[in-house]
Amino acid sequence: MTAKDRARLAAERLKALYPAVSELDHVNPFQMLVATILSAQTTDRSVNSVTPALFARYPDAAALAHANPVEVEAMIRPTGFYHVKAKTIIGASAALVERFHGEVPTRIEDLVTLPGVGRKTANVVLGVAFGIPGFAVDTHVKRLTRRLGLTKSTDPVKIEAEVTKMLPPEEWTGFSLRLILHGRRICIARTPRCPECVLNDFCPSSTVRAKGRRRLLTATAASVRLAHGRAAARKRPRPPRPHH
């Protein structure tokens, strides 16, 4: 099975398990942008615990751009690195006001010019807030794409480029979001729960293989295998033995 085969089968299997959603609470692109910046080096739960009050106090880019940094730091303290994060979200908001009329841009080339916004954050915002295909590479996606043998790189930009060549654009956002969820629940960093993983019958890094019968493949997956001549040949029925 090639890396492309594994990518497509993994996308298909994970689609049956997880919705293509972010666990960051938001109601508009601005909130998604701020929440994603705050999510660095912390959990979505901790971000969701502070954003309701933050967005009630600063509902848009114009309001946050003129915020008192000390007040913002106090509000986002539970997310960690609050000095840097406060400076970043205030700076990004100011840039939105100055260059984009207070609106979150819909081009990755524009998003990555905002303070604290790299390709990962930009792709999350594009995919979740606007429905524009983007493959975000965070720590979970980096780990799972290597374990699945989709890439050997540790560079997020190279991983993004390699994996997006294996899947149609309409699958990019969903696959990234589902890899993140699977990485949090099953394919965890230190002790992956391989026996519970739906990918364990073809993942090169799996410590187990599905017992008993092979997991049934869908038509798409089966056609991939057939195209590469890996389908098992059917046994011909034995002729009946003559009676003496």
Please give the structure tokens belonging to residue 29. 């692109």
Q: Which residue is associated with the tokens 């019958």? A: 201
C-alpha to C-alpha distance for 119 and 134, rounded to whole angstroms:
9
CB-facing half-sphere around the CA of 31: CA atoms within 13 A: 19
46 and 35 in contact (C-beta within 8 Å)?
Answer: no
Continuous H helices in 80-239 = 82-100, 108-111, 119-125, 139-147, 156-164, 169-185, 219-227
CA angle 151/24/164 to nearest 5° reads 25
Of 21, 25, 20, 27, nearest to 36 by C-alpha is 25
C-alpha to C-alpha distance for 33 and 129, rounded to whole angstroms = 9
Q: Which of 85, 110, 138, 158 is catalytic?
A: 138
| Residues 208/217, Cβ–Cβ less than 8 Å | no
Catalytic (active site) residue 152: no
What is the residue type of 9?
A: L
In this prediction, the residues of the chain whose per-residue pLDDT falls under 70 are 210-244
Q: CA 104, CA 95: separation in Å to the nearest integer?
A: 10
Q: What is the pLDDT of residue 210?
A: 55
pTM: 0.80
- Which among 59, 87, 60 is positioned nearest to 71, based on CA atoms? 87
Instruction: Assess whether 211 carries a catalytic annotation.
Output: no
Cβ atoms within 10 Å, residue 151: 20
List of domains in the chain: 29-130 (1.10.340.30)
pLDDT at site 221: 36
Give the per-residue pLDDT at 21. Answer: 87
Q: Which of 4, 44, 87, 120 is catalytic?
A: 120
**In the structure encoding, which two tokens stand for residue 192, read together?**
């992956």
Spatial distance between the Cα atoms of 62 and 214, rounded to a whole number of angstroms: 56
